[in-house]
């Protein structure tokens, strides 16, 4: 077992240092690249914080949907194949809700400011 | 090649085909990858400086890969569009072997803005914004109306071929993509079949490739993905949510309504818009951009372009997944 602080705490502290102390000092293309870098660190923090729970929920949902046990990747491949073959579609009970839940969980990590995502959260 | 070297070659070339020229200045590389470059420079002339743009594949990078029309075809298309009254930069010169600049062309530099967030938010464009969607319809009508006989050799595409290509790319990614597979399935089940009308299709008519001023669209740029196909493809592509840059209730580029785009198109062409086909191409376009995002991630991981920006674009493919669900499986 590794000591603390946790990776998410470290990455967050680095992102805050870059945002608050370094960003105001630079300009031009380097400033643009720094913004991308800070965005990447923020994404990593969100993934470290959120993905444990959302992956567990996704795995549970896949097992319910497909009726088999497996890994997250294996069951996702199974679902993708069944959709491709037409064995599973939007009329299959639970499929639409599952795809929505897993996609919202991805956006929460990748791009929580994306317009469509914010709209879906509002209208929920 | 250094800026000074390119500037020297440009000066030698320009003095041959632009009488009175005394030289060129301010050559600066704008963008592009290894195989294609864009340069800005000024032609020094007694009547006043002429702003110019060089688009070229450097020597040794002549062959256009995959989907690209090729720089020679781009030059012909821009000139045809310009002559037909489509807002387009005038082509000044097509590169010849003696120019030692590779393949490509030199065109007039058109002043304006291509950055979406500025166009959609800055006061400077407030007067233009309400007119843009209709204007885009009129411009697309002009592009689709170019005489087929005058066009250069171009790739011919249709929805079925595009779906096969997307399927091949998605199956080639390592990881499973249930939402992309759902979209592919929908596309196969809803393919409206070959279009009766086959025209020149710009292929990348969206923000970034539209030079916009306070008066509206000033130039259509980047004809790299031009091909022959269903004209409704261009109308669907500019409505893809990824090109609305947050203004999601204005489907046409974040600046206008479907009806404005369609009425501009119909008024200028006299041809009815096939709304179902436009929707179909909007779905294909959304999936296409999602696939391109994953492709960026792969190039980051495998290829020479190991940049942070590319890596982060890979994390935008989920944006297209939520948009595909909003299109194909909207929640109540």
B305 pLDDT band, cuts 50/70/90, is: confident
Q: Do B329 and A96 touch (CB under 8 A)?
A: yes
For residues B47-64, average pLDDT: 80
For residues B98-111, average pLDDT: 93
The answer to whether residues B92 and B162 belong to one domain is no
| Interacting residues of B176 by C-beta distance below 8 A, sequence separation 6+ | A73, A76, A77, A79, A80, A81
* Run of H or E including A116: helix A115-122
pLDDT exceeds 80 at position B66:
no
Q: Do A100 and B316 touch (CB under 8 A)?
A: no
Burial of residue A71 (number of CB atoms within 10 Å: 0-12, 13-18, 19+): exposed
Instruction: Say if CB B2 and CB B19 are below 8 A apart.
Output: no
Delimit the domains of chain A by residue range. 7-122
For residues B14-39, average pLDDT: 85
Contact with chain B for residue A115, Cβ under 8 A: yes
Domain boundary among B108, B129, B150: B108
What pLDDT digit, counting tens, does each position of B254-278 carry? 999 999 999 999 999 999 999 999 9
pLDDT exceeds 90 at position B111:
yes
The answer to whether residues B278 and B312 belong to one domain is yes
The answer to whether residues B152 and B19 belong to one domain is no
Residue B154 pLDDT: 94
| Interacting residues of B150 by C-beta distance below 8 A, sequence separation 6+ | B80
The answer to whether residues B196 and B66 belong to one domain is no
Question: Mean of the per-residue pLDDT values for chain B?
Answer: 93
Find the domain containing B78 and state its range: 3-108
The answer to whether residues B32 and B133 belong to one domain is no
What pLDDT digit, counting tens, does each position of A80-123 carry? 999 999 999 999 999 999 999 999 999 999 999 999 999 999 98
Number of residue pairs across A and B with CB atoms under 8 Å? 89
Find where tokens 């870059």 sit: A18
pLDDT exceeds 90 at position B186:
yes
The residue of chain A with its CA nearest to that of B184 is: A84
pLDDT exceeds 90 at position B69:
no
Domain boundary among B78, B108, B138: B108
pLDDT exceeds 80 at position B312:
yes
The answer to whether residues B212 and B231 belong to one domain is yes
Assign residue B69 the CATH number of its domain: 3.30.200.20
B67 pLDDT band, cuts 50/70/90, is: confident
Nearest by CB to residue B322, choosing from A81, A116, A123, is: A116
Residue B306 pLDDT: 82
A66 or B34, greater pLDDT: A66
User: How far, in Å, CA of B87 to CA of B139, rounded?
Assistant: 8
User: How far, in Å, CA of B213 to CA of B113, rounded?
Assistant: 6
B326 pLDDT band, cuts 50/70/90, is: very high
The answer to whether residues B161 and B76 belong to one domain is no
The answer to whether residues B173 and B304 belong to one domain is yes
Question: At B281, phi and psi to the nearest 5?
Answer: -70, -25
pLDDT exceeds 70 at position B215:
yes
Flag the least confident range among B67-76, B197-206, B209-218, B221-230. B67-76
Assign residue B223 the CATH number of its domain: 3.90.1200.10
Q: Do B321 and A106 touch (CB under 8 A)?
A: yes
B37 pLDDT band, cuts 50/70/90, is: confident
């Amino acid at each position: 077992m590794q000591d603390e602080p946790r990776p998410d705490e470290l990455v967050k502290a680095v992102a805050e240092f870059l945002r608050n102390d370094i960003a105001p000092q630079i300009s031009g293309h380097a400033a643009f690249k720094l913004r991308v870098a800070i965005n990447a660190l923020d994404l990593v923090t969100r993934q470290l914080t959120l993905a444990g729970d959302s992956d567990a929920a996704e795995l549970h949902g896949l097992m319910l949907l497909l009726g088999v046990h497996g890994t997250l990747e294996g069951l996702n491949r199974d679902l993708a194949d069944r959709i491709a073959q037409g064995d599973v579609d939007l009329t299959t009970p639970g499929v639409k809700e599952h795809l929505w839940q897993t996609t919202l969980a991805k956006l929460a990590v990748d791009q929580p400011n994306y317009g469509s995502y914010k709209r879906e959260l509002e209208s929920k | 090649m250094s800026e000074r070297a390119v500037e020297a070659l440009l000066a030698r070339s320009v003095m041959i085909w632009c009488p009175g020229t005394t030289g060129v200045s301010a050559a600066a590389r704008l963008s592009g990858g290894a195989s294609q470059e864009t340069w800005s420079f000024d032609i020094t002339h007694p009547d006043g400086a002429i702003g110019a743009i060089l688009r070229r594949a450097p020597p040794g990078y002549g062959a256009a890969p995959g989907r690209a029309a090729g720089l020679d075809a781009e030059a012909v298309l821009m000139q045809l569009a310009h002559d037909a009254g489509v807002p387009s930069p005038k082509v000044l010169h097509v590169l010849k072997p003696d120019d030692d600049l590779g393949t490509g062309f030199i065109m007039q530099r058109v002043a304006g803005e291509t950055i979406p967030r500025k166009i959609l938010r800055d006061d400077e464009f407030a007067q233009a914004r309400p007119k843009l969607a209709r204007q885009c319809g009129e411009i697309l009508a002009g592009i689709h109306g170019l005489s087929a006989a005058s066009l250069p050799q171009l790739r011919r595409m249709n929805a079925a071929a595009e779906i096969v290509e997307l399927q091949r790319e998605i199956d080639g990614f390592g990881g499973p993509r249930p939402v992309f597979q759902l979209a592919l399935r929908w596309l196969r089940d809803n393919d409206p079949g070959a279009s009766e009308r086959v025209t020149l299709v710009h292929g990348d008519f969206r923000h970034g490739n539209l030079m916009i001023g306070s008066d509206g669209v000033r130039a259509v740029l980047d004809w790299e993905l031009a091909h022959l196909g269903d004209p409704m493809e261009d109308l669907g592509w500019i409505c893809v949510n990824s090109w609305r840059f947050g203004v999601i209730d204005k489907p046409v580029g974040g600046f206008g309504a479907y009806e404005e785009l369609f009425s501009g198109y119909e008024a200028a062409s006299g041809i009815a818009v096939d709304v179902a086909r436009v929707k179909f191409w909007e779905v294909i376009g959304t999936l296409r951009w999602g696939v391109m995002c994953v492709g960026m991630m792969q190039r980051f991981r495998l290829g020479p372009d190991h940049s942070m920006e590319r890596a982060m674009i890979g994390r935008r493919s989920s944006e297209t997944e939520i948009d595909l669900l909003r299109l194909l499986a909207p929640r109540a």
